[in-house]
A and B are shown apart, each in its own frame.
Chain A
Amino acid sequence: MGWLLEWMSVEVALLAALVSPLAGAALVVALGPNPNARDGSSLVAGVVTFLCVLRIAMALQAGEPVAMELWEPTPGLLFALEVEPLGLLFALVASLLWPITTLYAIGYMRAHHEEHQTRFFAFFAITISAVLALAFSANLASLFVCYEAITLATFPLVTHSNDRTAWRAGRVYLGILMGTSVGLLLFGVLGVHALAGTTRFTPGGVLAGPLADGNVSKATLGVLLGLFVFGAAKAAVMPFHRWLPNAMVAPTPVSALLHAVAVVKAGVFTILKVVVYIFGLDLVRELHAHTLLLYVAGFTVVAASVIAMHKDNLKERLAYSTIGQLSYIVLGALLVAPESVQGAGLHIAAHAAGKITLFFGAGALLVTAHKKYVSELDGIGRQMPITMACFAIGSLSIIGLPPTGGMWSKLLLIEGAYHAGHGPVVVALLISSLLSVVYLLSIPVRAFLRPAPTAQTGEHPHHGPAPWTCRIAMVLTAGLSVWLFLFPDFLYDLVVRMTEPTP
């Protein structure tokens, strides 16, 4: 397949990866009146985007540097792109899952008779463009800009249903994300610039120099790290997690791709990038603050799992599960052992594949069987076997059991925590895994093993399977989880290159 892509130069691919979603958005708006052409163009844009990212991946594998400076509005605010392994991994995940989600969304939105589908698909595409730009950002400043762009582009998606709850959720969403990013993250970005004179992502970090020169104390750097961990509220580290459950009012494809994959991962991605490329692992290890932040993240992991257990609303349960899983990645980054950072990187992909499957399942249940609550799902597996089977695979991946990719990442994380000598973190990870067995696996178990409610509950008995596009999408993502279990090498190489930067 490589030769097919060779003709495209890598710079073109880089720009095309950012532009094609935007072009897709424009097409979607232009073709709005014709739903088939509109959704088709959305799909095509997704595939093109993925191919572009693939081309970039090939270049990176071949050792070509992929970088580009776009423009500089004011000194210090340079918009530049540079692809490195972690960014590529994130971009691959996002761009691969986008066309799949689009496929799913086509079925979902039509079955759900949503209004303003054009607006929906257009903003969806814009968000993806911003996510890719974030993944490829060469410095903190452009990353911050993309980060905010994502917040704004997803806002219309969160408030899509345009009713009271949606707007209230939108307010919380915008308030928390905007407040933390302007108040904390921006401050952090500027602080880095003021201390180091640059915000460029550099292997080994840029802040070690100022510390050695005595320009800054460790305490200040610790505060700075805290600014990033809490400022990137998309990572949903407690106490800034409340926006995520609120965002669940959005249509399910949004929850699936954006609030399980793209948007939330943008948060943890930011933290990972900052830890690896701005602070540098060695520096973080010296900061006392990182232990403190570690325990905050650990607390988030456990607390989110506990809350998830008590949620009957399926999407909310998944949201809290996401909060917990995101903090795995934050933990991985803050443990600063090479294994844990690799595990964190890998977990971006593994959790993405698993959680998107779960959301697809939840959405399918909603549109087909009109079920929102876990307690209503008894016996439903018999009518929707494919959906629930995929759901089960997704659950396994989140829990970290074979045959899914989640196993590798969790293994690396636990290993890293062990090596770094953080016993309590190991315990927290194990407890949370056990809890997730309870709150996730119980669902497919219920669906397959419990008898279906009989006519006395007044449910209409037969509704058939989910729309076919939804089923295809679910199978694809569930397959991805399994594939990650079988062939993790490619991604593993990437994350290893991240922690061992010198070629």
Chain B
Amino acid sequence: MGVAIDIILLLFLLSIAFAACVTRNLFSAAMLFGIFSLISATLFVVLDAVDVAMTEAAVGTGVSTILILITLASTGYRVSPRPAGRQVLALAVSVVLGATMVYGTLDMPSLGSPDAPVHTHPIAQYYTEVSPVEMGIPNMVTPLLASYRGYDTLGETAVVFTAGIGVLALIGRRRRKDPLPIVEEFREGGANRHRVLRVISKQLIPPILLYACYVQAHGDFGPGGGFQAGVIFASGLMLFMLLFGVEHARRIIRPVVLEKLIALGLLIYGGVGLVNILQGGAFLDYRTLAHDPQHGLHYGILTIELGVGITVAAVITTIIYSFASHLRDHVMQRTLRLRQGADAAQTSPESGA
């Protein structure tokens, strides 16, 4: 049964990858990538990585695909044909890459083999056997993520932070003194014309936000944690933005506040580490936070997960805001230009007469 699912999923993935390579349409390429990501998330579940599956589904299928689609909306879907020479070269390089990897696999332990060093190395036992006792947290991914390799996660949060700042620096809208004239159609967002959709979707937003809080808090027991929660929270806001338009959304949570929240989350995370140092432990040694080391660990993990959640939610929202605002400005400018062109076309025959 497992094998059958495995094979089906792999076949799916292969055909999608092939389709993505041959398609000329950027829109379908983007959608194919979204599906690819979703199916790989399913594969992750088969491979026992539920946390990763959740993240991949939220990030790959959700955020990345949406970002690509927004980008395409302002850049267009046109692709010029590729020259043959380049394709041959690309193929050759890819084949070299593949050949090297296949060579590498020849001495690998087969998939799932219990003799593989990955499973025989003492740390594997540590993570699966000692950690739940030591931490009192059933989900082994969470303490590994937040404590044993908590420093990597700090780095990961820093990367997210960088991305947020970077997107702001690149396409973040400057607080203009003379805002663009707002075209009426865009004032209320695209969903204006779909009242039913709007009414129903509106009901979804609170549960989504609530679910985000649940995922944030439930990371100790099931799949989830700060990152997933942040993405889900941001997707709730994203839905709001889709329904009511980016201008409205920007008024609900102001971009400046988001910018500060981005920084705040990372600071909370790092601050925990500094507090640990002040308490006489190593950086990110949460055991110093309370008398009982296990309590300390729980406090620490909860706090840093909160930091991660804040930064991720704020960054994803900022990114989506920025992309959407950019698209909106783009569309509006184009509309204005068209309208001016139309006005000019109307006036010119009169003046000619």
Direct contact of A and B (CB under 8 A): no
Q: Report which B residues bind A (CB closer than 8 A).
A: none
Chain A residues at the B interface, C-beta cutoff of 8 Å: none
